[in-house]
Each structure stands twice: as C-alpha cells, then as structure tokens.
Structure 1
Amino acid sequence: MAGTAREDGAGAGERRRGRSIMITAPRFWWRARPGLAAHLLQPVAALWGWKAASRMAGTPEMRAPVPVICVGNFVVGGAGKTPTALALADLVRRLGLAPGFLTRGYGGTIRSAHRVDPARDTAALVGDEPLLLAEAAPVVVAPHRPDGVAPLIASGTDCIIMDDGFQNPSLAKDFSLVVVDGGAGIGNGRVMPAGPLRASMAAQLPRADAVLVIGAGAAGETVARMATSADKPLLRGRLVAEGGPEGEEQRRVLAFSGIGRPEKFLASLKEAGFDVAATEAFPDHHPYGEADAERLIARADAEGLALVTTAKDHVRLNGGVGTLGRLAEKALVLRVRLVLDDEPMLERLIRAAVARKR
C-alpha cells in the first residue's frame, strides 16, 4: 500500500519529485499493533512528533479576510480529501457563497502562487488534484499558502476551501474538517517514521473542528471513538461511484491506479458493476511514462480487457503524446462522489464558522 508525505516529512522508501518528497509507506504502518520496526523507530518518531506538534502550535502568518475551511487528515496518504473538498464546494454554494480552492499542488513543479487553468496546465506543472478541483471552482496553487489568498479573492472567491494543510500553521483556519479512511484509520497509531501519523493524535485531535469517517471498518471506528471522547462532532460518509460499464465489452477490466489506497478504487469498481480481472498498482501520484502505457495497453489487449482508472490518475495522462496519449484515450474513468449520512449537520457547522468569521 502506498502513501505520501507532503509538507510533513519522510520515511522508508522515499523518492523526490519536484520539491515534494514522495514516500512508499511500509506495510507495518497499517497493522493494528506496532511491530518490531515501529518500536525501533520510536525514538526518531518521538523527535518528529515533537517537531510537528511545535510547528502546528505556531502563530499563523496571515488571517484571510474571508472564511477558510481546511480539509485535512491525520495521516500521510489518501483519505478522501478531494471528494470531500468538492462536496464542501457544493455545500458552500448553497449557503450563498462563492467557493475557491487553495492547495499546495503536491507533485507539481509550481513554486509560486498560480491560478490553475485546466485547459492549459498539466499535472506535471500543478499536480493532479488541482486539475480535478478546477472542474468545480477556481483553484490557486501556492506552496506558501498565504500567497494564494489574494489571487483567489481576485477570482471572486469569498470562501476558501483549503485542500490539505491541516498541520500547516501559516494560514489561519476558521474550520478544520479532518477526513479519516474507515478502512485504514490511523494505522498503528504511531508518528512517522514509526507509523503513518503526521503528528501525535494528542497534538492533532484538539485542533480539529470535526472528524469525518469515510467508509466502514474497525480502524475507522477506533478514530470515531477517539473523536467522540474528545467531544468533536463526528460525521460519516461513503464514496459512491458515478456511472458503470456501458456494455459487456467494458465489463471485464484491467484496473490501474496510483493512489494512496488502491483497494478503495477496486471496491468502487465492483460496486459499479465492473468485473476486475486484473490490477496494476503504482505509487501515489505516480508520473506515468511511455513504458507504463505500453505495458498496460499490451496487457489489456493480450487478455481482452478494457482499461479503467481513477479521475485523479487520468488527469496525469491527459496531454500525453504517443502511447501515453493512446492510454488516456482508451482508459475508462471511474469518478466517485462523497455522500454524507448527515449533511445538515455539516451545513450547520460550516454556517456557524462562516457566521463567526463575519
């Protein structure tokens, strides 16, 4: 299983891409009980956790003149932040506000504040998530997040949705919604590099305004109990696939993805009616190359399978030429949306945060 560290560090199997450090998360991170490796790494994790907690407690450099809603997670890797950010944009619109997204642009090479143009920008430049978000609202990529506030407001935004950055203190947050994958939870509960936590739960949980558990699982229930014990509003939701195979020739598929938890993608495919005959898993935010495309197309053709991938993976294929372009054309795209069990509760929380800001 792959995970990534964004602004909060490194660990086993790290590799650099642009200014970001990408990490292939070791399997022991996601075991319920810490093993020998986690115990051996605990002294380093203690230092890491202290440093991360100190950073989180720092004074914000800036308070935006409009509400800032942060969508974050406790651990490295995917938890469902992007579908949550998109759902929040819809909710904010219903409140009469104009949302805009602020993101670091993980995986891209942008080094200064940049308004995303989905017609011209590529994932290599701005990252994959900003291109998905730009389908719904204005997006500004800003490695230093306060730099992105003015361009967003200039675009007409009067409510900023910050995708990731819960541990980053540079921009003050008016509401922080922390997303938890119900199947993965917080893994072994240890801080990097002994586990997947970006900082200790003692440092992170008090700073959350609400916790959203997406999907079912014992690991997610553990975090749900922690949130309840800390008197944090607890929300639940699930990712629902949009669309399905349009014919029998699309039903049997080779599913490929480079996301934090590929098993979530596979579960969504099966729920949508696909017959997953083969799979190819790449590291999170994997930059696909010609060799990848050639191998995927050749295998699909040899086994008589259709190709299917995630929306996040597909934007990394767009703009490719040669075999990479062929893969972008051939691959079906499975999109998912977040369905909340208690959307009115989240609406009340956001409405109250906006009112406090005003």
Structure 2
Amino acid sequence: MRLIEKVWFNNHPAKWLLVPLLLPVSALFGLLSSLRRLSFKLGLSKSVKLSKPVIVVGNIGVGGNGKTPMVIYLVELSRSLGLTPGVISRGYGGQAEHYPYLLDSSSTAAEAGDEPILIQQRCQVAVAVGSDRIASAELLIAKGCDIIISDDGLQHYRLQRDIELIIVDGKRLFGNGLLLPAGPLREGQWRLPYSDLVIYNGEVAADYQRSSRGNNYPCAQMSLSAVELCNIQTGACISIDDFIVLHGSVNAIAGIGAPQRFFDTLKVNKINIVEQQSFVDHHRFILNDFKGFDGNIPLLMTEKDAVKCRDFCQGNWWYLPVNATFNDAELQLLLDKVKAVTNIT
C-alpha cells in the first residue's frame, strides 16, 4: 500500500505532515467540484437525457469499492427482465485507435482497459469505452441496447441518469473523510443522500452503523461470493474445495484498488497463501512481474488481473471470479427501481 493510502485509510503518523500540506489543494479541488456541479444544476452547463434509461454505478472515493461486480449483477438482472443491456466505461488504462470504441472478442485490455474487458468476457454484453460517455451510450443504443449501465461516471454530470447507485467499501468506508488529495474522496459524504441507493460492499463496522442511524437515505449491503477457481490458460473451472485438495497452497497477486480484500477472501475460503504481492490498480502486467514466485506453486489472481495475463500465462495460473449477492428484500428493491425506469410491470 502506498504511503498516501496509509494516511487516508490507516491513520499513519505521516498524516501530521502530509495532510496539512495537502489541505489547501483539497480545498481548491472541493471548490472547483462544487462549482462544476452547481453549473449543471443551474443549467449553465448542458446535460443530456438519452432515449433509453441510464444506471450509473459509481463512488464518491477512489477505486476498489466493488463497482465491477455490481455492474455485472445489473447486466444479469436486466436480462432477467427481458432487457438488452449495454455497458459504458471510461476504459481507464486502455488506448484504442478511435472512440467510442466498441469491444469485440478480439479486444484487449491494452485497447479497452481491464474492467471493460472483464465485463465483456464474463457477460458477453455490448461494451463501449471512451471519455465521452454520451457518445458511447448512443453507440450502444444504435446497436439495440434498451438500458445503459455506466461503470463509474458518478461525477460525469453531463450524462443524466435515471438510477444512481453509490458503492462504498464497508471496511474502508470514507477513510479520513477528506477530499483528494488529503483524503480519498472525490465528493464529500453529503453526496450520499442524493443517490437512489447507497450500497455497502461487505459488512460495515458496528461503530459506523451506530453513528449513521440518523441517515435518511436508502442503503443496501452487497456481499461478494466465490465458489470456484478458473484456469487462465484453459478456462477450466473447479470448486474451491477441489482445488484445495489438489493443489494445497498458492502464491497470490492482486493489482486492484483494495488488494487486501482479495487476500482476505482467499483466507476466508481456507486457501493457504505462501507468498503474496500487491500491485497498483490497473497495473499493466508483464511476465517479468512474476519471476520471484516459485513456478511449481499455483499462482492465483483476481479476474481483473487475469484478463491482462492471458497472452503469457502459465499452465498453473488461476483466477477467482466473484459474484455480487443481495438478500431477497434488497434484490426486490433493485428490481423495483429498474422496473420503474423501464416501465416493466
């Protein structure tokens, strides 16, 4: 974990030096962000209403909150209602020849970014990437999509949205509560009541639950479940229990926003880790990144990392797909929201 992240989330002593230095920049960031939001609210900046409903899945802080599993969940939820969803994304880390860029079976993470590739390969859904989310959405609508799911884009106010979901890491929450760069937040916690639903990824600390009882905005809790491991090279999948019997221990890597969450998931599922290594979010992997690991021990990674390793993966490299789950009441809440904006009875 980088030092600044330790300051944001772990109360590192370096906060006494870094936070005072960065607070003026955070104040400027907050002012510019507020003026931009106000500009759209007053109609001084133009926002666009699309011909099809839009669901934005975003967060008020830095990455690693669980947006991608939620997007995948919404794709399948929409399909269960007879809809044809399409996904738009910024495509962070990708460099396509043109934008908006429509993914196909030959697209790579170098072109489209890791998360769009993961979503497209997992769901076989139409995905378009580009900084102009409206252009990406209109491309998907022209291709026959009747509901658009935006992976991130909470602060992309130019795009009007019918449903707005804010994902919050239940463990890290809002860190020190400060705006970037002194803290991890793009917008303050005041933003939460303006969304349609705040979704906490994982159990929330009891002290936070007690302090937030007065909140008057709807909340839900999402859990991420894992039941199998998949071989990157062959695509073959086996249950976690069978994998443990066959292979025992693993080495593990994670290049995501909250890598410890992945390592903790492995431990919860009783997968023994010999060595583990974290990389920065969206790290572009090369084979040399793995030279320090014992090649005789299986290497386990996230699904997001696996899409960037397919061209050079070894036979004993595996990934752990995870799925978002909700209780029945919260599932019904999501269903009702999607039905309301799509006029499904």
Q: Following the alignment from structure 2 to structure 1, what is the Cα–Cα distance between the partners of residues 62 and 86? A: 24
**CA distance change for structure 1 residues 259 and 224 in 2, over 3 Å: closer, same or farther?**
farther
Alignment partners' CA distance in 1, 2:129 and 2:23: 34
**CA distance in 2: counterparts of 1:353 and 1:187, whole angstroms:** 33
Counterparts in 2 of 1:333 and 1:262: CA distance versus 1, 3 Å:
same
2:177 counterpart of 1:189: yes
Deviations along 1:74-108, one digit per CA (max 9) or x if unpaired, are: 10121000000111111112222111101110111
Is this contact kept in 1: 2:58–2:165, CA < 8 A?
yes
Q: Look up the match of 1:248.
A: 245
Q: Which residue of 1 aligns with 2:107?
A: 121
Structure 1 residues 31-50: Cα deviation after superposition (integer angstroms, max 9, x where no partner)? 36993222332121011011
Instruction: Provide the TM-score with structure 1 as the length reference.
Output: 0.83
What percentage of residue pairs aligned between the two structures are identical? 34
Q: 2:49 aligns with which of 63, 75, 83?
A: 63
Q: C-alpha separation between the residues in 2 aligned to 1:239 and 1:25?
A: 27
- Partners in 2 of 1:140 and 1:277 — Cα distance? 39
Matched, 1:30 2:9: yes
- The 8 Å contact of residues 66 and 167 in structure 2, kept in 1 or not, is answered as yes
Q: How does 1:186-225 map to 2 (within 5 A)?
A: 186-202=174-190, 204-218=191-205, 222=208
**In the alignment, is the contact (CA less than 8 A) between 2:94 and 2:110 conserved in 1?**
yes
Written as runs of structure 1 = structure 2, the 5 A alignment for 1:274-289 is: 274-289=271-286
**Aligned-residue CA RMSD (Å):** 2.4
- 1:128 and 1:151 map into 2 onto residues whose CA distance is 21
AA aligned to 1:255 is A
Counterpart residue identity of residue 66, structure 2: G
CA displacement 1:323-350 (0-9 Å, x = unmatched): xx144x4311101001112211221222
Moved over 6 A (4+): none
Alpha-carbon distance in 2 for matches of 1:162, 1:156: 16
Q: Which moved more, 1:256-265 or 1:35-44?
A: 35-44
TM superposition shift of 1:355: 3.8
Counterpart Cα distance in 1 of 2:211 and 2:339? 25
2:268 maps to what in 1?
Answer: 271
Structure 1 gaps of 5+ residues are 3-23
Cα 1:224–1:199, aligned 2, differ >3 Å: closer, same or farther? farther
Deviations 1:205-245 (A, max 9, x none): 243111000112428x738965x644211001111113115
SS in 2 for 1:162: strand
> Aligned residue for 2:92?
106
> Quick one: which amino acid aligns to residue 316 of structure 1?
K
Instruction: Return the alpha-carbon distance in structure 2 between the equivalents of residues 128 and 176 of structure 1.
Output: 23
DSSP-derived class of the 2:52 partner: coil
Q: Secondary structure at the match of 1:300?
A: coil
Pick the aligned partner of 1:339 from 322, 325, 339: 325
Is the Cα–Cα contact under 8 Å of residues 203 and 221 in structure 2 kept in the other structure? Answer: no
Q: Distance in 1 between matches of 2:325 and 2:116?
A: 21
Structure 1 distance, partners of 2:322, 2:248, is 18
Does the alignment pair 1:76 with 2:58? no
Gap runs ≥5 in structure 2? 229-239
Partner residue of 1:169 out of 157, 160, 169 = 157
What residue is the counterpart of 1:300 in the other structure?
294
Q: Residues 277 and 224 of structure 1: is their aligned pair in 2 closer, same or farther, counting only changes over 3 Å?
A: farther
CA distance in structure 2 between the aligned counterparts of 1:317 and 1:165, rounded to whole angstroms = 27
Aligned to 1:310, which of 299, 302, 305? 302
Query: What's 1:5 paired with?
Result: none
- The letter for the 1-side match of 2:109 is A
SS at match of 1:259: coil
Within 2, Cα distance between the matches of 1:121 and 1:71? Answer: 23
Q: Is the 8 A contact 2:244 2:271 kept in 1?
A: no
Q: What is the Cα deviation at residue 122 of structure 1? A: 0.9
Q: Secondary structure at the match of 1:52?
A: helix
Say whether the 8 Å CA contact 2:6–2:12 is kept in structure 1: no
**Residue in 2 aligned with 1:238?**
223
Q: Return the alpha-carbon distance in structure 2 between the equivalents of residues 147 and 207 of structure 1.
A: 25
Provide the secondary structure at the position in 1 that maps to 2:57: strand
Change in 2 beyond 3 A, CA 1:30/1:268 = same
Q: How far did 1:280 drift?
A: 0.9
Matched, 1:261 2:248: no
In 1, the alpha carbon distance for the partners of 2:266 and 2:304 equals 15
Listed as ranges, the matches of 1:18-57 within 5 Å are: 25-31=4-10, 35-36=15-16, 37-57=18-38
* Residue 94 (str. 1) matches residue 91 (str. 2): no
Q: Aligned-pair distance for 1:254?
A: 0.4
| Amino acid of the structure 2 residue aligned with 1:26 | E
